[in-house]
Structure 1
Amino acid sequence: MRILITGGAGYIGSHTCVELLNSGYEIVIIDNFSNSKPEVLNRIQQITNKNFKFYHIDLLDKLALENVFDDNQIDAVIHFAGLKVLRESIQFPLKYYHNNVCGTLTLCEVMDNYKVKRLVFSSSATVYGIPKKVPIEEDSPLSGTNPYGYSKVIIENVLSDLYRSDNEWSIALLRYFNPIGAHPTGLIGEDPNGVPNNLMPYLVRVAAGRLETLSVFGNDYPTKDGTGIRDYIHVMDLSQGHLKALQKIMTDPGVHVYNLGTGNGYSVLEVVQTFEKVTGQKVNYKLAPRRSGDIAECYADAHKAKTELGWTPSRGLREMCIDSWRFLLNSSLKS
């Protein structure tokens, strides 16, 4: 079975590619390296000792995408490609809507033309906006607090409408929470271009002395230590969830929505303290005012994924921290 992976050189995409290859799938990767590095492709091959096809194209380039489908008998698509920096999306909303929504429309048009109607979509817990209660269930109201989150809501609606118009489609919408960690080899992990926007890649750079101080935004939330609580999930558990979703859509048409999270919430200070404990590295941090749009706590109810997909995350915060630090030491970041 041959699976097309859009954004396959990215953080979550690369780990999912490894899982697919190790599970016997053939893969075709497309990526434009807007937030990833070509070296990741070599590392996927190094980890798996398997070959795959790669196309350096932009998802908005319909002709180039059609050439990929012409060259390969694609059975299903896992769609990661998209811009994802929340604060940047507020600055450049048109850029985010155009790239994320139009890119997905182009992909679906080409898939439809080639009769490929199996799709796993990389959505996000940001589609829940400011949740009215936690843990968050899949039937919670959808909204958004920034253009990035709204772009995911729009795409989910598009894909649901697509199925309603043609019941041959089978689509999984995976709403994941806060991925951290790295592959246990230390060869691939979260390595964003420029200054990181997410907690863990910023934290490890501070611990390594590459950045000066970690800003902890908000210490007056109604939480156990005043800092925001999030559902952090190991990227390896998350990638395995994609394989389970892929198996589901190959045999069960429809639109299937799943939260991928641990169901446990950790505060920012708990992450910092756990990291310091398991690595022995000091993290310089300072308390800063809340950021606009941030919420006190957000964690998943993941029972549906467990029940319908047989998926249960197995790695805890300790392992997430250790693997993240190992990646920094063993990756190109070391140089």
Structure 2
Amino acid sequence: MATKSTKNETEFSTKGAYVTGAQFTRDTNYIETRITRDGADGYPVEAGRYRLVVSRACPWAHRSTIVRRLLGLEDAISIGVCGPTHDVRSWTFDLDEGGVDPVLGIARLQEAYFKRTPNYPRGITVPAMVDIPSGAVATNNFPQITLDFSTEWSEFHREGAPDLYPEALREEMEVVNKRVFTEINNGVYRCGFAGSQEAYEAAYSRLFTALDWLEERLATQRFLMGESITEADVRLFTTLVRFDAVYHGHFKCNRNKLTEMPVLWAYARDLFQTPGFGDTVNFEQIKAHYYIVHTDLNPTQIVPVGPDTSGWATAHGREALGGRPFGAGTAPTRPMDA
């Protein structure tokens, strides 16, 4: 981990990321205990025991809200939503009455981390699964949280829940997910927080090389892994939906907008219009987070009015590729909570 030498780098640590010299480096050391059926790590799957804490602004947390909704885990796992902005100490529950989470009884997510490890030294990140009885974070390992929602929490899936992590596709999906994470999900951050022209240009080139690869891959198949939505699509979507609103301008990812990449733009609209995706998006909170919190990139903290988001509701034409978005399952019909 890099030494945190400036105030803004310390602020970034609330998301678990630092700038190492000229290169942006993400801290990927998470609380790796898992919530499993056998409770091997001390946290057994149990309906009502855990609270998923997220922010609508954060792309990493957004994954968990989508998967929770697609699988119908609302009754088994409650959700706490932090506001879109935070200070150096952590995410806050300023959207709740009195600024306190009504279930956990805390004002800052930091308190749940300190219950797990006093003076927890790493990033205070979302998503976090909090053990309600103890008030402590059980895990903040965001890639594993959603996989465990699919595999360990299957007893509580809704009828008609899709298989987001099909066993036959896992080996290929691991390769796709790795490239999407390193080159795209994290690639936009490498552009935005590059500390030199050279580092920025290298990150920029890697990002758009990967986006061009996706344009080609998705030209002949409806979803990343084929005919149905999987975990891989969830992971890509949370970056694509933020691309024009934030990453194109704020992070200087400006070779072109998402709306200027015909295949990816149609693919993203297809997902956005699918229950569980677009209904979990809050563009105002997304913009508020990036443009207000990242004061070194935007010292005025002025939040852009645009871009126009009405295009997300326009026809995408991806049905022509066939496929069934939910495979043998069905779309969620439960109204969006929180």
TM-score w.r.t. structure 1 length? 0.33
Structure with the higher fraction of residues in strand conformation: 1
